[in-house]
Structure 1
Amino acid sequence: MSSVPYRRPLDALTLGALALAVTAVSSSAPLVAFAAAPALAVACWRNLLSVAVLGPFSLARRRAEFRALAVGAGRREGVYCVLSGVALAAHFATWMPSAQLTTVAATTALGATQPVWQGLIARWQGRRLPLTVWAGIGVAVLGAALATGADFTASGRAFAGDLLAVAGGLFAAVYTALGERARATISTTTYTTICYGVCAAILLVVCLLGGVPLHGWAPGTWLAILGLVAGAQLLGHSMFNYALHRVSATTISVLILLEAPGAALIGWVWLGQLPRPLALPGLALLLAGVAVVVLGRSRGGRRTEPVPVPAGAAQLAD
């Protein structure tokens, strides 16, 4: 068993996939805010339709891999795929409703606390974090308090949306960390099919039990859902998952920060949403704190233990 995770060198294809992913996910919050449908229903359809697109292709191409994950030597990686789908469902169930309760800018900025949560997850796993990381966490928490406090003075609804966005960032960190484990040995199509399938099944059950309507909306809402499937899901999440075999979850988290200004720009141009003045200093501190966390953790990364990867993993992943 190798003690060093297999990483292919960055190439033009990976860099292009990351650029495409950042651009695609920037459209997520504006589309969710535009859709005149319950956020949970939108999240459910987003994943169901993604599985409908990916499922036939992955089942036709990766039958042996699916079999190994179910009854073969890859059962542990199969568990990571399932758990990642559960975390993704929790992320969508918290972050997507936040886009309909508060502004697009606040939703994306507060959701960008994902690298902070991943730093805490690393500490929970027994990895030592540099002092700069904890300093960055403090700055980010202060920024989040200022941002949510500004929303609280505006309305309790916006404040609830801010809290959901922060929770969404936490679950996104868990989803990415589990995905990094699974993607060490599993192809992108197999991983995303299982992950999105588990996520869709959970959200469908929640919608059915909660009486959330799944149809009866205007054509514009369905177009927004299709936009989420094609953009944020298939070109966004899937491209990030593709890159997880080549770059770390921390690097992915850094790039996801670029979603915040991109979504805010789209929200301003398309939806006419401007962040409230009182929230701007808090959002700036939040993003600065997250940047400090990421930089501090990358400098201290040489002192952390890498994730073990079974021998032969390089031949399994695409």
Structure 2
Amino acid sequence: MNAKQKSSHTFELLYIIGIIAISFSSIFIKWSTAEVSVVAMYRLYLTNLLMLPLAWRYRNELFHLSARQWSMLAWSGIALGLHFLLWMASLRLTTVASSTVFLSLEPILVMLGSYFFFRTKTNRMMIIGMGMAILGSLAIASGDFKLSGQALTGDVLSILGTVAVSVHMLIGKHLREQLSAFVYNFWVFMIAATSLALYNIVQGYPFTGYAPREWGIFLLLAIVPTLFGHYLFNWLLKYINAAAVSMAVLGEPVFSSLLAWMLLGEKLTPLQFGAGAFILAGVWLFIRYGRGDNKVVELPVDRTAPDVPVMPNDKIAN
């Protein structure tokens, strides 16, 4: 196996790890009884806290950004905070299957945005893979779509949250060409958390008084879906095009629905089980043929300033 193939397999493995990690997000949120904006805020602040030990190594880059970069970081962070607020709220109003399925719209929005803003090309296999994954996602939620009442509100919130995270991904693709994964994630998570903190202050939600169990859930959200999910995907934006990275959300309904079935007792039909395999096949096709113009190359490891996780040097150009 040559160096290029090894790099390719590494990216694919990390991609799968990220999908599984973000799939736990909906389960942890369902377990919590705190306001979703508080859950999201502490999820992100705790992630920043976990990243602090490495901040000294990036001290020069952290504070030497242009005005334009600060502006784009702010918009990316606000979009991420809005995504968490809207999508996490949807989980309180509908099932995991229905809430996560609308995230399948994200790669479509990102692909369109990538074409208009970055002129990223697509090919037939990418479109076929996306179509398979979207059809499978619709099948997973087919037994739970509701057209009235509380569930409809949850569906709308999930769709709006998907629009917000698509904006976050597109801005991130641009900034990751200029910034290391650590610096980008650190400031985006901080800005998102602070925007949610301001929202909580306006709403009058308490910042303290939560049971140890709630703090444990906040920490799990920081470690599993945020560090091993969102951070990892933002790192991959340097090496895989934004539409391909955003396809990860199409694997989320599969694992989230299975976890909800096992841990929350939510029902899943045989059709939905079969659709899960269909989604995974579509996701594989998309990531297999969806790197676009981003070339996968063998990248040297920078031992002096490793990212989290310790991976190829972010400073190597595509």
TM-score (norm 1): 0.76
1:67 alignment partner in structure 2: 63
Change (3 A) 1:61 1:295: closer
Show the 5 A alignment for 1:244-255: 244-255=237-248
Please list every run of at least 4 consecutive aligned residues from structure 1 whose deviation after the TM superposition is greater than 6 angstroms: 128-150, 276-301
Cross-structure match for 2:220 = 227
Name the SS of the counterpart of 2:43 in structure 1.
Answer: helix
What residue number does 1:196 align with?
189
Q: Secondary structure at the match of 1:185?
A: coil
The residue type equivalent to 1:101 in the other structure is L
Query: Shift in Å at residue 198 of structure 1?
Result: 0.3
Instruction: Report the alpha carbon displacement of residue 253 of structure 1 after superposing the two structures with TM.
Output: 1.4
Gap regions ≥5 residues in structure 2: 1-5, 295-312
Contact preservation (8 Å) 2:181, 2:314: no
Q: Report the Cα offset of residue 296 of structure 1.
A: 10
Alignment of 1:150-229 (within 5 A): 153=146, 156-229=149-222
Contact 1:148 1:162 in 2 (8 A): no
**1:8-55 deviation per Cα after TM superposition (whole angstroms, max 9, x unaligned):** x94454333222211110100111111111111100110111112213
Aligned to 1:16: 13
Kindly tell me the number of residue pairs found equivalent between the two proteins. 296
Instruction: Describe the shift of the 1:106–1:286 C-alpha distance in structure 2 as closer, same or farther (beyond 3 A).
Output: farther
After TM superposition, the structure 1 = structure 2 runs for residues 1-318 of structure 1, keeping only pairs within 5 Å, are 10-58=7-55, 60-69=56-65, 74-122=66-114, 125=117, 153=146, 156-274=149-267, 315=315
**More displaced, 192-201 or 212-221?**
212-221
- Assess, with a 3 A threshold, how the Cα gap between structure 1 residues 208 and 107 changes in structure 2: closer, same or farther: same
Q: Is the 8 A contact 2:98 2:145 kept in 1?
A: no
Letter in 2 for 1:43: A
Taking every aligned residue pair, what percent have the same amino acid on both sides?
28
Contact 2:251 2:283 in 1 (8 A): no
Contact 1:41 1:207 in 2 (8 A): yes
Which residue of structure 2 lines up, in the alignment, with residue 3 of structure 1?
none
Deviation at 1:121, TM superposition (A): 2.4
Kept in 1, the 8 Å contact 2:74–2:191? The answer is: yes
CA contact (8 A) 2:76 2:171 kept: yes
The residue aligned with 2:299 is: none
Supply the distance in 1 between the matched residues of 2:17 and 2:291 (Cα, whole angstroms).
24
Q: Which residue identity is paired with 2:32?
A: A
Offset from partner CA, 1:78-127 (integer Å, 9 cap, x none)? 33222211110111111111111110111111122111111332465495
Distance in 1, Cα, partners of 2:84 & 2:90: 10
TM-score, normalisation: structure 2: 0.76
Q: Measure, in 2, the Cα distance between the counterparts of 1:236 and 1:246.
A: 16
